[in-house]
Structure 1
Amino acid sequence: MATYEREITGPVGLCLPDGQVDPAAIGWSRRPLHRSSIPGWGRTKRWEYWCVTTPTHLVALTVSHLDYLALNSVYVLEFGPGRRREFERTAIVPGGRGVRLPDALAGSVGTRPLVVGPERPVRGQVRVEIVEEPGGTRLRARCPGPGRVPVEVDLFAALPDGHETLSVVVPWSERRFQYTSKHTARPATGTVTVGDDVLPFGDDAWAVLDHGRGRWPRRVHWNWGAASGRTDGHTVGLQLGGEWTRGTGATENALCVDGRLSKIGRELVWDFAPDDPMAPWAVHDGGAGQVDLRFTPFHVRRVRTDVGLIGNRTDQCFGHYAGTVRGDGGRPVAVDGLLGWAENVRVRW
């Protein structure tokens, strides 16, 4: 199903004074142009999710505020030859005390520093810092790791001049909507230290951002896939979504080839086995000619939660994409072994 989304080219507010989505905000842009302040309270979700990958290891940082609690986490996965180590630390903050996610300002994802958690975390505590610096974003984190060894993250996700990203408003109704800014193929550098082990992030390290602000339905199902790297002589970022946008007239689908964004105004088809997420996946546009991809997982990160207000069933698979994509220029780009993920999520929140 094709959509007919308009491209936004100037600053716009996300909401009207009464908290409804502003009709002028509905559309997409090549750089963040929305002021994402959401007046009032109730069913409001705010988060920052960063995942930085290399050919042998990756790290993901999450800061989220769900109205009635906050969840902040650090996730590390090693998968190089002869290495397989997975670690995750999540801090739950009832009421979201001390967690304040800044609203996005037109022209940037967020100019104010985001800092949560104590300076020297202990037990189940997590500290995450996300700070805009000239040329990109500084990502820092600390938490107790496996065997109580410290884990420290210090990475820089560059945003090269002219590098385009996808920002889009998805409206379920006047009162239920989501603003998301998805960045792919941002070159990254730095280190993640686990005890005495230093994991380097250098020439083939890539950062992906999922910045979200919105008011959500009680229950929702989504697929999300992303990947970044060099393939067929190009730097390619894949941003692929599904299910949650169906029927809204909007999608979160886009390709970034050598820094130039191509919006995909069509719902994608996701063929996979929910009960066997490690089986191969297929993601395509139904023969329209822009996306024809296969995804082969090598690891699944499973989350199962059913506590009071919150229920979460997540299978996030890390693996490699192969196939063909076409940007607005029309020339096919062969995707061969592009590292990323595909996930299937059902949530009650």
Structure 2
Amino acid sequence: MSIGTLLDGQGRLAECGWGVAEVRRYDRAAIRASGWRIKEWDYYCILTDDHALALTVADNGYLGFLGMSWIDFKRARAINHGAIRPFPFGRMQMPASADAGEIVQSRGGIDLAFRHEPNGRRLTFAAPGFDGGRGLSGEIVLAQPADDRMVIATPFNDAPHAFYYNQKINCMPATGYAVLGGERIDFSPDSAFGGLDWGRGVWTWDNTWYWGSASGLHQGQRFGFNIGHGFGDTSAASENMLFLDGRAHKLDEVTFHLPEGPLDRADWRFTSNDGRFEMTFTPIVDRADRVKIGPFLTDQHQVFGRYSGRAVLDDGTVLQIDGLTGFAEQVHNKW
């Protein structure tokens, strides 16, 4: 497969649209925008029916971030732990590809490493100060079969040098362990599945996005989905996609119907203009985080819970989904 450049000589997207593989090459040096606007991150989330683990490394220009979160569904508790690096402006050396390059970062008592290996990824993490000193550490290997993924190149209206290049990889079987407060929790590939959100781009100042994702099993086959909007001008393509046994099934537009009041107190609903995604999402816990530094703001509500409803594959096959673990989020950034 030939891979073309993401940006043209003027720093604009060479082509807008979606794919199921990395067919465009990101090059930070080709960007024609202020370093304050460049945002680069790798976010992993490993889901089971009992808990979730989220790991983040981000270089957002003026601010770098390392994050670890543990979400306990039985206790409806989410614990966040993070460290910041002021003004990295690319010095965190985030890889230009989702399929190559290593991330090894240490800051503020947090050690994170995301490494590639044959047919998979190895995630190692440690934070002795997590949850008031209980500590969280571990190692997880995500198997990566030759699956389709969601890849999208999206422009922003009225900002010709702004873009978002995003890859989402769902349903990676997870093997490994985490140690939380001295207790070891094992991850088994028949019940634990990882997802990667790989984002690179130039963002406008004030944005609100909505994202939903799930990975698990449906009748013994790996099944998941990615849905979302608010990541730029999606008139050329949406990022809505189903995944069954490694193959992608493209959806059109999905509408998020959020509850009134707190986002973890009532069900969310999702509908699609093509009738192929009709879901109810029942919240368990809101992994909320809000940081305001001067004019900068990030206000995040990543709500974990269960999806139930129907999803329709490209060939018209209807899947009845009952209690699939995932999350849905609303995030507002001024950055």
Same fold (TM over 0.5): yes
By percentage of residues, which structure has more strand? 2
- Given residue 299 of structure 1, which amino acid in structure 2 is its aligned partner? V
- In the other structure, the counterpart of 2:136 is 151
- Encode CA deviations 1:217-271: one digit per residue, 9 max, x unaligned: 101111100001112453211101023345542211100011110122x221111
- In the other structure, the counterpart of 1:35 is 25
Residues 1:209 and 2:202 aligned together: no
- 1-structure distance, mates of 2:82, 2:235: 32
- Given residue 22 of structure 2, which amino acid in structure 1 is its aligned partner? P
- In the other structure, the counterpart of 1:273 is 259
Distance 1:165 1:247, change over 3 A: closer
- Given residue 62 of structure 1, which amino acid in structure 2 is its aligned partner? T
Which 5+ residue runs of structure 1 have no aligned equivalent? 1-8, 119-123
Aligned-residue CA RMSD (Å): 1.8
- Encode CA deviations 1:113-162: one digit per residue, 9 max, x unaligned: 110116xxxxx4311100010011111111122242332120011111x3
- 2-structure distance, mates of 1:67, 1:110: 23
- TM-score, L = length of structure 1: 0.88
Which 5+ residue runs of structure 2 have no aligned equivalent? none
Instruction: Specify which of 311, 316, 320 is matched with residue 330 of structure 1.
Output: 316
- In the other structure, the counterpart of 1:111 is 100
- 1-structure distance, mates of 2:100, 2:231: 29
Give the C-alpha shift of residue 84 in structure 1: 5.0
- Given residue 136 of structure 1, which amino acid in structure 2 is its aligned partner? G
- 2-structure distance, mates of 1:115, 1:27: 31
- 2-structure distance, mates of 1:328, 1:67: 40
Is the Cα contact below 8 Å between 2:170 and 2:224 reproduced in 1?
Answer: yes
Instruction: Specify which of 299, 303, 310 is matched with residue 285 of structure 2.
Output: 299
Give the C-alpha shift of residue 38 in structure 1: 2.4
The DSSP-based 3-state class of the residue aligned with 1:176 is strand
- 1-structure distance, mates of 2:23, 2:13: 15
- 1-structure distance, mates of 2:66, 2:45: 14
Is the Cα contact below 8 Å between 1:151 and 1:192 reproduced in 2?
Answer: yes
- 2-structure distance, mates of 1:274, 1:46: 32
Residues 1:135 and 2:119 aligned together: yes
- 2-structure distance, mates of 1:197, 1:257: 34
Instruction: Specify which of 149, 152, 163 is matched with residue 168 of structure 1.
Output: 152
Instruction: Specify which of 66, 80, 93 is matched with residue 100 of structure 1.
Output: 93
- Given residue 115 of structure 2, which amino acid in structure 1 is its aligned partner? V
Is the Cα contact below 8 Å between 2:13 and 2:153 reproduced in 1?
Answer: no
- Given residue 138 of structure 1, which amino acid in structure 2 is its aligned partner? R
Identity value in percent:
30
- Given residue 56 of structure 2, which amino acid in structure 1 is its aligned partner? T
Residues 1:89 and 2:105 aligned together: no
- Given residue 111 of structure 1, which amino acid in structure 2 is its aligned partner? A
Instruction: Specify which of 313, 316, 325 is matched with residue 339 of structure 1.
Output: 325
Count of matched residue pairs: 325
- TM-score, L = length of structure 2: 0.92
- In the other structure, the counterpart of 1:21 is 13
Distance 1:309 1:21, change over 3 A: farther
- 2-structure distance, mates of 1:70, 1:222: 20
